[in-house]
Amino acid sequence: GVWLLGGRDYRTEVKDSPNERLAFGKDPASRFPCEHVSMRLLVVEDDATIAEPLRTGLRREGFEVDLVSTGADALAAPECDLVLLDLGLPDLDGRVVCRTLRERSDTPIIVVSARGKEVDRVILFELGADDYVVKPFGFLELVARIRAVLRRTAGGPSPSASDVRIEA
Ligand code: CA
């Protein structure tokens, strides 16, 4: 299908760029070959009105996205590169989920908390979260935070990732 960014057909705007033309594969996610092509995110969010657009947007940004809506499913999910964890979950305390995930692995965690609920960032970091956003958050801010956290972790993409891809 046609992928729109800001209402415009992104592909028609970049078609004259040799490097960008190389970037287009069968998978729409490959439009952005420079970063995160193989980065798998686990999104833990019980509000479908947030979760579904979030998944769509993150996929457009080139991430693979697993979506779960409960703490139990989050704890049962396979390993991923980063967890986006809503603290307000229907079954378990999000803080417990966060702490449990952290005890299990070093996978980076970005916590999502609701506005109005006082979030003590010290507590968040004691839980092992790498960063946090407060609802309602801007999508671009979230993507920037995800990329920043991934860059800080060992598994993040190297600065030369785009060169490797173009030569391939
Ligand atoms: Ca929630």
What's the pLDDT tens digit per position in 103-156? 999 999 999 988 656 666 777 778 899 999 988 899 999 999 999 999 998 654
What's the pLDDT tens digit per position in 63-76? 999 999 999 999 99
Pull the structure tokens for residue 53.
């657009």
- Measured in Å, residue 44 CA sits from the centre of ligand 1 at 9
Task: Give the whole-number percent of the chain exceeding pLDDT 90.
Answer: 56
- Measured in Å, residue 113 CA sits from the centre of ligand 1 at 8
Contact status, residue 95 vs residue 113, Cβ threshold 8 Å: no
- Measured in Å, residue 11 CA sits from the centre of ligand 1 at 35
DSSP state of 29: G
Pull the structure tokens for residue 56.
């769509």
pTM of the model: 0.69
